[in-house]
Amino acid sequence: MLIKAPRGTRDILPPDVGQWQFVEGKAAEMCRIFGYQEIRTPVFEHTELFLRGVGEVTDIVSKEMYTFQDRGERSLTLRPEGTAPVARSYLEHKLYGETQPVKVYYIGPMFRYDRPQAGRYRQFHQFGVEVFGADDPTVDADVMVLALKFFRGLGLSDVTLQVNSVGCSACRSAYRTLLQEQLREKVSGLCVDCTDRYEKNPLRILDCKNVRCHELTENVPMMTDHLCQECATHFTAVKQAMDKLGETYLVNPRLVRGLDYYTKTAFEITSSVLGAQSSLGGGGRYDHLLSTIGGPEIPGIGFAIGLERALLAMEAEKVSIPVANTLDAFVATAGDVGADEALAVTMMLRDAGIAADKDYLGRSLKAQLKFADKKEVRFLIILGDEELKLGMATVRDMKNGTQQSVSMTGLTAHLTALVKEAK
């Protein structure tokens, strides 16, 4: 217990950090190009924010939150998602008073008390974006394309975008009633989960994996055919914008997202290489979220992408990740040359911007060579009695095995040139 990471959490060890930096770097780069700026919010918030923002009847809130009391008796919750906190920050700092729209992105850990599974963790990481203060359909397209280009940038090819419109408060509630009427006769034939959904969230029945439920809803009317004028126009415009960009997508009228706040556009990006948790990311428009948590009526839209899943998909698709090389040079000693002498030389190289290190365990020259080889260091500097007497050092190229004598005074310049050439 003592030396075990808690359930559903894990360490990202040095050999894997490079992949994370690559993915996070891609996200930042893509966002910069798309005109988004980074925002960082706390990892915990007042519990009420999620109760009201995400919705009390959602699974996230009803059974997956890490909620605790602090010493001041406040109920706090480790953020289960990023949209509500960013929306809160936007309101708190009255960013609606500035030039609109506000386009931001975030990268960081989220927490959900779920049972761990392939691609699902209790602490996981999301990259997400939010746009506040613009309800134009081209914003919807902007957001979706950013997500797609991000995945492409990672080298993923098995990526599918599914789009739907879940309507607004007006047309959705009308459709919901219609759907319940249509399904009234068939409720008994649905699976246990769907029987429950019939009352709580009938739209979700359309999304059920159960084949039987799918059959029973075969001829039921779809949301997309019952949108109000405004929502229908918006949805058409979103699709037009995507078409104009030549982006492919699948209209899935059965797509329903789990969070309460979505309106109009809802989308999900999936990969078939992921197993049961096939969703790489998802998002949508939330035109009433801000007012729900106490702000003015301001439209918003965003997405969240699971970084672990992106990494998993990259692994499954065998995408090679460019990893930055570590050390440029390793300083080895032979004979009676002291460790402090080696440290001084190492430091001299570092001061010139060369990534260098030395042996700290008093190992034999042979062992030092072996170490440098394992660490894939290109250049080895050998400091020995003979060299030092002459004010020289031996520089060995580990790649082709050649070596030459270089004067101590010219060592830095010599290596700088070698390292530059090697890169």
Sites of contact with RNA (CB under 7 A) = 1, 4-5, 7-8, 58-60, 64, 81, 112, 114-121, 124, 126, 193, 197, 204, 208-210, 256-259, 275-282, 304-306, 308-309, 334-335, 363-367, 369-374, 382, 384-387, 394, 396, 398-401, 403
CB of 47: closest distance to RNA in angstroms? Answer: 18
How wide is the angle at C-alpha 201 spanned by C-alphas 306 and 292, nearest 5°? 70
What secondary structure does DSSP assign to 39-57, as a single string?
A: ----SEEEHHHHHHHH-TT
Q: How far apart are CA 298 and CA 95, in angstroms?
A: 11
Taking the complex as a whole, the smallest distance from the CB of residue 13 to RNA amounts, in Å, to: 11
Least distance (Å) between residue 268 CB and RNA: 7
Give the nearer residue to RNA in terms of CB position, either 189 or 296: 189
Nearer to RNA, 22 or 262 (CB): 262
Work out the angle at residue 20's Cα, subtended by the Cα atoms of residues 14 and 25, and round it to the nearest 5 degrees: 130
Q: Would you say 129 and 31 are in contact if contact means Cβ atoms under 8 Å apart? A: yes
Comparing CB distances to RNA, the nearer of 39 and 259 is 259
Choose between 276 and 413: whose C-beta lies nearer to RNA.
276
If the CB atoms of residues 26 and 197 are measured against RNA, the closer one turns out to be: 197
- With CA atoms as reference, report the closest residue to 345 among 399, 420, 414: 414
Residue 256 near residue 166, CB atoms below 8 Å: yes
DSSP-assigned states of every residue in 198-251 = HHH-GGGGGG---HHHHHHTTTSPPGGGS--HHHHHHHHHHHHHHHHTT---EE
DSSP-assigned letter for residue 95: G
Compare residues 58 and 224 and give the one whose CB is closer to RNA.
58
> Distance (Å, rounded) from C-alpha 82 to C-alpha 43?
9
CB of 139 to RNA, least distance (A): 19
Please give the Cα distance from 331 to 394 (Å, whole number).
Answer: 10
d(CA 364, CA 181): 82
**Closer CB to RNA, 16 or 230, in the complex:** 16
Count CA atoms closer than 13 A to 101's CA, side-chain side.
22
How near is the Cβ of 240 to RNA at its closest, in Å? 26
CB 375 within 8 Å of CB 15: no
Sort strands 356-358 and 123-132 into parallel, antiparallel or unpaired: unpaired
- Least gap, CB of 326 to RNA (angstroms): 14
φ, ψ (nearest 5 deg) of residue 228? -70, 170
Q: How far is the CB of 345 from RNA (least distance, A)?
A: 13
Cβ atoms within 10 A of the Cβ of 113, count? 15
Shortest Cβ 181–RNA spacing (Å): 21
| CB 401, min distance to RNA, A | 3
User: Can you list the alpha helix ranges (DSSP code H) found in 317-361?
Assistant: 339-351
Q: How far is the CB of 98 from RNA (least distance, A)?
A: 27
Cβ closer to RNA: 118 or 170?
118
- Asked if 227 contacts 248 with a C-beta cutoff of 8 angstroms, the reply is no
